[in-house]
Protein backbone atom coordinates (compact mmCIF):
# COMPACT_ATOMS: atom_id res chain seq x y z
CA UNK A 1 0.00 0.00 0.00
CA UNK A 2 1.26 3.48 -0.84
CA UNK A 3 0.18 6.28 1.50
CA UNK A 4 0.54 10.04 1.10
CA UNK A 5 0.53 12.03 4.33
CA UNK A 6 0.08 15.80 4.16
CA UNK A 7 0.61 18.31 6.97
CA UNK A 8 -1.22 21.36 5.61
CA UNK A 9 -0.29 24.98 6.20
CA UNK A 10 -0.24 28.13 4.12
CA UNK A 11 3.50 28.84 4.36
CA UNK A 12 5.02 25.34 4.56
CA UNK A 13 2.95 22.26 3.75
CA UNK A 14 4.82 19.06 4.48
CA UNK A 15 4.21 15.83 2.60
CA UNK A 16 5.55 12.31 2.75
CA UNK A 17 4.88 9.15 0.80
CA UNK A 18 5.58 5.69 2.18
CA UNK A 19 5.15 2.19 0.86
CA UNK A 20 3.96 -0.42 3.34
CA UNK A 21 4.56 -4.09 2.63
CA UNK A 22 4.37 -6.89 5.22
CA UNK A 23 4.65 -4.52 8.18
CA UNK A 24 7.70 -2.80 6.71
CA UNK A 25 7.91 0.84 5.73
CA UNK A 26 9.93 2.36 2.95
CA UNK A 27 10.22 6.04 2.22
CA UNK A 28 9.24 6.92 -1.33
CA UNK A 29 9.47 10.71 -1.23
CA UNK A 30 9.11 13.57 1.22
CA UNK A 31 9.35 17.33 1.07
CA UNK A 32 7.61 20.65 1.45
CA UNK A 33 5.39 22.91 -0.61
CA UNK A 34 6.25 26.52 0.20
CA UNK A 35 4.25 29.64 -0.52
CA UNK A 36 5.12 33.25 0.10
CA UNK A 37 3.20 35.42 2.53
CA UNK A 38 3.72 38.20 -0.04
CA UNK A 39 1.38 36.45 -2.48
CA UNK A 40 -2.37 36.82 -2.43
CA UNK A 41 -4.29 33.98 -0.81
CA UNK A 42 -5.84 32.55 -4.02
CA UNK A 43 -2.38 32.16 -5.59
CA UNK A 44 -1.04 30.43 -2.50
CA UNK A 45 -3.99 28.01 -2.45
CA UNK A 46 -3.56 27.32 -6.16
CA UNK A 47 0.12 26.50 -5.60
CA UNK A 48 -0.73 24.03 -2.83
CA UNK A 49 -3.49 22.41 -4.91
CA UNK A 50 -1.33 22.13 -8.03
CA UNK A 51 1.63 20.70 -6.10
CA UNK A 52 -0.51 18.09 -4.32
CA UNK A 53 -2.17 17.10 -7.61
CA UNK A 54 1.26 16.69 -9.20
CA UNK A 55 2.50 14.57 -6.28
CA UNK A 56 -0.59 12.37 -6.59
CA UNK A 57 -0.13 11.97 -10.36
CA UNK A 58 3.58 11.14 -10.03
CA UNK A 59 3.43 8.77 -7.04
CA UNK A 60 -0.08 7.24 -7.37
CA UNK A 61 -0.89 6.78 -3.66
CA UNK A 62 -3.69 4.47 -2.50
CA UNK A 63 -4.73 6.92 0.23
CA UNK A 64 -4.20 10.52 1.32
CA UNK A 65 -4.07 11.33 5.03
CA UNK A 66 -4.54 14.72 6.72
CA UNK A 67 -4.43 15.83 10.32
CA UNK A 68 -7.87 16.73 11.69
CA UNK A 69 -8.34 20.44 12.09
CA UNK A 70 -7.82 21.66 15.61
CA UNK A 71 -8.82 25.26 16.24
CA UNK A 72 -7.97 27.18 19.37
CA UNK A 73 -10.68 29.66 20.27
CA UNK A 74 -8.07 32.42 20.66
CA UNK A 75 -6.90 32.03 17.05
CA UNK A 76 -9.96 31.71 14.80
CA UNK A 77 -8.25 33.36 11.82
CA UNK A 78 -5.50 30.74 11.85
CA UNK A 79 -8.09 27.96 11.77
CA UNK A 80 -9.94 29.70 8.95
CA UNK A 81 -6.78 29.99 6.81
CA UNK A 82 -5.65 26.46 7.61
CA UNK A 83 -9.12 25.23 6.67
CA UNK A 84 -8.71 26.73 3.22
CA UNK A 85 -5.36 24.98 2.71
CA UNK A 86 -6.95 21.72 3.86
CA UNK A 87 -9.84 22.33 1.49
CA UNK A 88 -7.69 22.48 -1.63
CA UNK A 89 -5.84 19.34 -0.52
CA UNK A 90 -9.20 17.57 -0.05
CA UNK A 91 -10.19 18.77 -3.51
CA UNK A 92 -6.96 17.36 -4.99
CA UNK A 93 -7.74 13.99 -3.39
CA UNK A 94 -11.36 14.04 -4.59
CA UNK A 95 -10.54 14.99 -8.18
CA UNK A 96 -7.89 12.24 -8.23
CA UNK A 97 -10.27 9.62 -6.79
CA UNK A 98 -7.96 9.02 -3.82
CA UNK A 99 -9.62 8.04 -0.52
CA UNK A 100 -9.07 10.68 2.16
CA UNK A 101 -8.54 9.92 5.85
CA UNK A 102 -8.12 12.23 8.84
CA UNK A 103 -6.63 11.64 12.29
CA UNK A 104 -6.30 13.84 15.34
CA UNK A 105 -2.77 14.88 16.32
CA UNK A 106 -3.08 13.00 19.62
CA UNK A 107 -4.08 9.82 17.73
CA UNK A 108 -1.00 10.15 15.51
CA UNK A 109 1.32 10.65 18.48
CA UNK A 110 -0.22 7.66 20.23
CA UNK A 111 0.24 5.47 17.14
CA UNK A 112 3.87 6.54 16.70
CA UNK A 113 5.03 6.71 20.32
CA UNK A 114 2.34 5.06 22.40
CA UNK A 115 1.20 8.25 24.10
CA UNK A 116 -0.86 11.15 22.82
CA UNK A 117 1.09 13.90 24.59
CA UNK A 118 4.49 13.25 22.98
CA UNK A 119 6.49 16.24 21.73
CA UNK A 120 7.03 17.12 18.07
CA UNK A 121 10.72 16.33 18.53
CA UNK A 122 9.93 12.84 19.87
CA UNK A 123 7.66 12.18 16.90
CA UNK A 124 10.32 13.47 14.52
CA UNK A 125 13.00 11.20 16.00
CA UNK A 126 10.77 8.11 15.99
CA UNK A 127 9.62 8.65 12.39
CA UNK A 128 13.23 9.12 11.28
CA UNK A 129 14.17 5.90 13.05
CA UNK A 130 11.24 3.93 11.58
CA UNK A 131 12.08 5.05 8.04
CA UNK A 132 15.88 4.86 8.40
CA UNK A 133 16.31 8.59 7.79
CA UNK A 134 19.84 9.48 8.89
CA UNK A 135 19.42 13.23 9.34
CA UNK A 136 16.30 14.95 10.58
CA UNK A 137 14.49 17.05 7.96
CA UNK A 138 14.75 20.83 8.33
CA UNK A 139 10.97 21.13 8.70
CA UNK A 140 8.97 19.14 11.25
CA UNK A 141 6.09 19.40 8.74
CA UNK A 142 7.79 16.61 6.75
CA UNK A 143 8.01 14.17 9.66
CA UNK A 144 4.49 15.13 10.76
CA UNK A 145 3.24 14.17 7.29
CA UNK A 146 5.16 10.90 7.40
CA UNK A 147 3.74 10.21 10.88
CA UNK A 148 0.24 10.61 9.43
CA UNK A 149 1.03 8.06 6.72
CA UNK A 150 2.49 5.58 9.23
CA UNK A 151 -0.53 6.03 11.51
CA UNK A 152 -2.89 5.28 8.65
CA UNK A 153 -1.00 2.09 7.87
CA UNK A 154 -1.48 0.91 11.47
CA UNK A 155 -5.16 1.87 11.63
CA UNK A 156 -6.09 0.47 8.20
CA UNK A 157 -4.33 -2.80 9.02
CA UNK A 158 -6.23 -3.16 12.29
CA UNK A 159 -9.58 -2.78 10.46
CA UNK A 160 -8.94 -5.61 8.02
DSSP 133: -
Secondary structure (3-state) at 134: coil
Report d(CA 47, CA 50) in Å as an integer. 5
String of DSSP letters for 63-119? EEEEEPP---TT-HHHHHHHHHHHHHHHHHHHHTT--EEEE-HHHHHHHHHS-TT--
Report d(CA 83, CA 87) in Å as an integer. 6
Is residue 29 flagged as an active site residue?
Answer: no
Is residue 141 flagged as an active site residue?
Answer: yes
Is residue 7 flagged as an active site residue?
Answer: yes
Residue of 46, 54, 67, 102 with catalytic role:
67
Residue of 46, 102, 141, 144 with catalytic role:
141
Secondary structure (3-state) at 158: helix
Provide the annotated active-site residues. Answer: 7, 67, 141
Amino acid sequence: MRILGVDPALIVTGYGIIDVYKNRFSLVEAGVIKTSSQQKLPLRLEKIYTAVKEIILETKPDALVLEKLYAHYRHPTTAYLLGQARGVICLAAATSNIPLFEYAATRVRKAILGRGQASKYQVQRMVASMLNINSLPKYTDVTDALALAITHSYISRSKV
